[in-house]
Structure 1
Amino acid sequence: MKHHTLPVSPKTVHWGYFSKKVEPSLVVKSGDRATIETLTHHANDDYERMIKGDPAAEAIYHWTKEEKTIARRGSGPTEGPFERGSGEGIGVHLMTGPVAVEGAEPGDVLEVRILDVRPRPSGNACYCGRCFGSNAAANWGFQYHDLIEEPKPREVVTIFELDTTGEPFAKAVYNYVWTPQTDPDGIVHPTIDYPGVRVDHSLIKKRENILANVRVPARLHFGTMGLAPSEEDFVSSIPPSYTGGNIDDWRIGKGARMYYPVAVDGAYFSVGDPHAAQGDSELGGTAIETSLTGDFEFILHKKNDLGGTVLEGLEHPMLETDDQWSVYGFTFSNYLAELGANAQIEVAQHSSVDRAMRDAFRKLRRFLMTVHNLSEDEAIALMSVAADFGVTQVVDANWGVHGSIRKNVFRCD
């Protein structure tokens, strides 16, 4: 076993997509471990707290009229004219990687163990040692067209500070209503529609003393983590799919094991979208988006060895913790294959919790029948009385429902 380190830098991140065409930032063998840094794509909501004084963050976010360090942000076009910018924001997350796994082939399953997760402190001397994050009640949120106070509609950004002196929690610092922002290329962004646009704080009004008596328990986890799909060269980081991606389950943190079906040689694992806390559904648009560093272990399970294991027949992401297994249902299990050439744009037009629930049911049924040798009637009875289904997220274009079964139901006296 070898332990690698993968820091964030302009050479080790890609912005807004998974890709089988990006040169790997790291190559590992099965059994290797890696410490991987991740940056939030919302850091420019408060430049002073989340970017300033952090050389890597400053380099990655650097954008002036003369130079934009990472031009492409999203899986969209890279030649203008642009409506929003290169990549068009069809995918928004800052992803570290890819990590190539030696010997990984389509049909294999990659197990990714999260050994530890810790926050990245501010590099600004004014906030030395303190950690911050941002939540956006955004235009893609479930609430956006169902508001009761004026102005309607509106997007609101809330800045949180993470306290890690004891049991970690987040506390709100201030919030503000998004106002149109003009990027260095002169493009006006009336809404939060392109990642990495620096918010000019002279144009917004801070509202302090908000959520005054509220402490949000921290759930450090990675919202977007997975492998490169085979269908397209560049795939938006927003909709989750059969190789993982933007699942947004707060359980994917320390101690979790994620299993992903390998779709391309090398697997090409990327991780980003780090979160300090999130509830099931991520209803308003985002979690508390922060920057985290994780310790990971990679275990490759070859396709010829999967029979008779919990990975037999696995064609979708699956979570294992000490207590349970969880499968993930989506509106489309593999939207890239099901929707065709314009899938990355069209998937958001079909979002459905009903379809995601149906997909989660079918996946958990298969797991119980294949892995635990239950009949269909036994599996359905067990799901009704012992499985837990929850809304993972309703904001990622390909909406999600998780189905979980506790391990202790299979214990025999």
Structure 2
Amino acid sequence: MPHHILKATRETVHLGGFSHLLEPALTVDSGDTVDVETYTGYYVYDKAPPEFVTPAFLDICQNLPPERKVAAGPHLLTGPIYVQGAEPGDVLEVKLEAITPSLPVGFNAIRTGWGALPHQFHQPALRFVPLDLENQITEFPIDSGIKIPLKPFFGILGVATTEASRNSIPPGDYGGNIDNQELQAGTKIFLPIFVPGALFSIGDGHSVQGDGEVNVTAIETSMNGTIQLKVRKDLQLTTPIAETPTDIITMGFGQTLDEALELALKNMIDFLKRFINLSPEDAYVLCSLAVNFRITQVVNSPQKGVHGILSKSILPKAIEL
């Protein structure tokens, strides 16, 4: 299959949201692979240390064309990528083959009015955090002796919808700002397609994040990756689902954690009915016995996220979506 390279430039990135009106940054065939470059920190570049601001990133921050500024979200995304043959009702399979921080520093920010404890931690704060890329760790607080292993992933993986402008902050049935730390290299995520070509965008790199992302950011990191994009006409989905080498992951997004949990649970029951041929009641019981439901994030207002994790090792036969 052909392989493409998509560098992040002021012509190939967009800011703040998703839109089917954007000119594609790249057109590929189903099954092609792409090396993608992403940057983060558009709104903090002027406060960043020199090693955070490459010449290409500086050019983006200072000269991004107005038509590439989609909505008020803070995220700088690479794309969109137009996939030939993708039609509404199909599913886009995104295989995350490699994910690597590109710079030895990331940032964490507390934003006024955001986070899980906005009234207690209401003063804005910006920290740049060094990354030891050779040993794949970061120390935080610096000189504390607390060493955190890096687990890089892309916080945003999404397709365009029929809306002319969709803010990048809340996740939804199109994917978007999922912020699920389980989506490591080796994972596949399956996204419903809403417009011709899918118009897939990627970004919001995180070097490491705890479930919940409670202070509103992870270690936000410029990130490179290798992905494969494949159109799946044999699948029908209304919400994203993921498959890691060891697990099946369903997702739920809602304005409360209760709503998000209910949707993640219903989506897992639906998976077990369709792919394992369980009755709804048996699937419900199995979820209580063997599926772990975790808080994905609580800060991407107005949508909170919960994901359910089913180990493939308990299933009677190998399964691959």
Asked if 2 retains the 8 angstrom alpha-carbon contact of 1:74 and 1:237, the reply is no
For the structure 1 residues 210 and 55, does the alpha-carbon distance in structure 2 shift closer, same or farther, using more than 3 Å as the test? closer
CA distance in 1, matches of 2:3, 2:275: 32
Q: CA deviation at 1:30?
A: 0.9
The residue aligned with 2:14 is 14
The residue aligned with 1:141 is 115
Q: CA deviation at 1:137?
A: 2.2
Asked if 2 retains the 8 angstrom alpha-carbon contact of 1:114 and 1:295, the reply is yes
**Moved segments of 4+, more than 6 Å:** none
Flag structure 2 segments of 5+ consecutive residues without an equivalent.
Answer: none
1:377 counterpart SS class? helix
Identity %: 38
The residue aligned with 2:258 is 354
2:217 counterpart SS class? coil
1:163 counterpart SS class? coil
For the structure 1 residues 74 and 362, does the alpha-carbon distance in structure 2 shift closer, same or farther, using more than 3 Å as the test? farther
TM-score by length of 1: 0.73
Cα-Cα RMSD: 1.8
CA distance in 1, matches of 2:146, 2:111: 21
Pick one of 102, 124, 127 that aligns with 1:155.
Answer: 124
Matched, 1:401 2:315: no
The residue aligned with 1:165 is 134
Pick one of 313, 316, 322 that aligns with 2:239.
Answer: 316
The residue aligned with 2:57 is 57
Q: CA deviation at 1:410?
A: 0.8
Pick one of 89, 95, 98 that aligns with 1:116.
Answer: 98
Matched, 1:387 2:299: no
Q: CA deviation at 1:376?
A: 1.4
Give the counterpart letter for 1:383 in structure 2: C
Q: CA deviation at 1:47?
A: 4.3
Q: CA deviation at 1:49?
A: 2.9
The residue aligned with 1:264 is 195
TM-score by length of 2: 0.93
CA distance in 2, matches of 1:412, 1:395: 38
Asked if 1 retains the 8 angstrom alpha-carbon contact of 2:99 and 2:153, the reply is yes
Asked if 2 retains the 8 angstrom alpha-carbon contact of 1:120 and 1:293, the reply is yes
For the structure 1 residues 145 and 297, does the alpha-carbon distance in structure 2 shift closer, same or farther, using more than 3 Å as the test? same
1:9 counterpart SS class? coil
Q: CA deviation at 1:280?
A: 0.4
Matched, 1:46 2:48: yes
CA distance in 2, matches of 1:56, 1:146: 38
1:288 counterpart SS class? coil
CA distance in 1, matches of 2:296, 2:158: 16
Structure label with greater radius of gyration: 1
CA distance in 2, matches of 1:264, 1:225: 16
Q: CA deviation at 1:211?
A: 6.0
CA distance in 1, matches of 2:268, 2:96: 23
Higher strand share: 2
CA distance in 2, matches of 1:171, 1:58: 27
